Amino acid sequence: MLLKDKIALVTGASRGIGAETAKLFAREGARVVVNFNKNVLAAQAVVEEIQSNGGVAFAVQADVTEVSQVENMMRLVEAHFGVVDILVINAGLHFKVAPFMQLTWEDFSWKYYGEMKSFYNSAKAVIPGMLAKKSGVIVAVSSGLSRHPGFGFSSHSASKSAVDALVKSLALELGGAGIRVNTVAPGLTITDATSWMPKDQQEQAANHTALKRNGTPEDIARAILFMASELSGHVTGTYLSVDGGSAMI
Ligand SMILES: NC(=O)c1ccc[n+]([C@@H]2O[C@H](COP(=O)([O-])OP(=O)(O)OC[C@H]3O[C@@H](n4cnc5c(N)ncnc54)[C@H](OP(=O)(O)O)[C@@H]3O)[C@@H](O)[C@H]2O)c1
């Protein structure tokens, strides 16, 4: 078991990539906090699946863009499990897909500040405990679009680029304290967040990969597990593309 007895907090774990990550972490022995924002039934379903397979998990509602809600969540997590060993910053903040000139500042800044607040609030909440333990792992889920533009995705690209930059800054500042910080960058992955895309666009994206298929939440979860476990014990400040090879084409 790669995460035996570790305490892991996965933000946005009620659905999609976060849900698969939470389930995989639990199979690898972690005690998992399934954070969600609105979808309590989906979060409970993830917890029940973990528990029915002998794992340990509980669900906590918190809008990670709201500092007071994150602080409340941390109080519950520490009372329930203890200090967090692994933080996965994953919550998927929806955003308007439209050309830059059609976005208002409200559209743009909602996504940009949302991603920053999500990262800032979650990281600030767990790092003191990790510093005290002199160990910890943070994995931020970015996007292939942080490095490669997509038409209509400017707010997403800009905010995920900022996530990548923050990962490197934290990796530098926290490495000496035994805390690793890395980015996993999915390509198009079929989840609720992408199911709005017409099938022909999904096929086009699949054809633009070397592996000729789009990602699954399980593909991304396995890469997050690698970054969260000792398999990547000497890896920090890096950006792992999980995109079937589309970035190189
Ligand atoms: N899918 C892709 O193609 C793709 C590609 C590149 C990067 N990514 C990144 O991967 C991550 C996960 O995406 P996904 O496709 O798995 O998304 P998803 O299926 O839409 O799931 C989003 C998850 O985030 C939670 N969430 C949303 N806003 C939140 C908030 N303010 N506070 C706490 N939780 C919140 C949702 O909770 P509720 O259920 O309560 O709403 C849900 O659990 C995101 O960071 C996304 O940008 C995805």
> Which residue segments constitute the domains of the chain, with CATH numbers given?
7-248 (3.40.50.720)
Best residue among 37, 145, 183, 196 to mutate for probing ligand 1's pocket (most ligand atoms within 8 Å of CB) is 37
- CB atoms near residue 245 (< 10 Å): 13
User: How far is the C-alpha of 118 from the C-alpha of 83, rounded, in Å?
Assistant: 19
Q: Which atom of ligand 1 is nearest to the CA of 220?
A: 10
Residues in the chain: 249
Single pTM value for the model: 0.98
* pLDDT for residue 75: 97
Best residue among 94, 191, 218 to mutate for probing ligand 1's pocket (most ligand atoms within 8 Å of CB) is 191
Q: Which atom of ligand 1 is nearest to the CA of 64?
A: 32
Q: Which atom of ligand 1 is nearest to the CA of 13?
A: 43
What does R_g of the chain's alpha carbons equal in angstroms? 17
Write the CB contacts of 36 (distance below 8 Å, at least 6 apart in sequence).
12, 13, 14, 15, 42, 43, 59, 60, 61
Query: Cα of 91 to ligand 1 centre, how many Å?
Result: 4
Query: Cα of 239 to ligand 1 centre, how many Å?
Result: 19
Q: Provide the b/e sequence for 153-162 (b: ≥16 CB within 10 Å).
A: bbbbbbbbbb
Q: Which 3 state secondary structure label does DSSP give 156?
A: helix
Q: Which atom of ligand 1 is nearest to the CA of 160?
A: 47
* pLDDT for residue 142: 98
Query: Cα of 33 to ligand 1 centre, how many Å?
Result: 15
User: How far is the C-alpha of 5 from the C-alpha of 241, rounded, in Å?
Assistant: 28
Q: Which 3 state secondary structure label does DSSP give 139?
A: strand
User: How far is the C-alpha of 20 from the C-alpha of 171, rounded, in Å?
Assistant: 25
**DSSP code of residue 81:** T
Q: Which residues line ligand 1 (CB under 6 A)?
A: 11-18, 35-39, 42, 63-65, 90-93, 141, 143, 186, 188-189, 191-194
**DSSP code of residue 207:** H
Query: Cα of 93 to ligand 1 centre, how many Å?
Result: 6
* pLDDT for residue 85: 98
User: How far is the C-alpha of 133 from the C-alpha of 226, rounded, in Å?
Assistant: 21
Q: Which atom of ligand 1 is nearest to the CA of 19?
A: 43
* pLDDT for residue 139: 99
Query: Cα of 171 to ligand 1 centre, how many Å?
Result: 23
Closest CA to 158 of 232, 150, 61: 150
Per residue of the chain (249 residues), give pLDDT as tens.
999 999 999 999 999 999 999 999 999 999 999 999 999 999 999 999 999 999 999 999 999 999 999 999 999 999 999 999 999 999 999 999 999 999 999 999 999 999 999 999 999 999 999 999 999 999 999 999 999 999 999 999 999 999 999 999 999 999 999 999 999 999 999 999 999 999 999 999 999 999 999 999 999 999 999 999 999 999 999 999 999 999 999
Write the CB contacts of 104 (distance below 8 Å, at least 6 apart in sequence).
none
Best residue among 11, 17, 44 to mutate for probing ligand 1's pocket (most ligand atoms within 8 Å of CB) is 17
* pLDDT for residue 168: 98
Query: Exposed, middle or buried by CB within 10 Å (0-12, 13-18, 19+), for 221?
Result: buried
User: How far is the C-alpha of 225 from the C-alpha of 27, rounded, in Å?
Assistant: 11
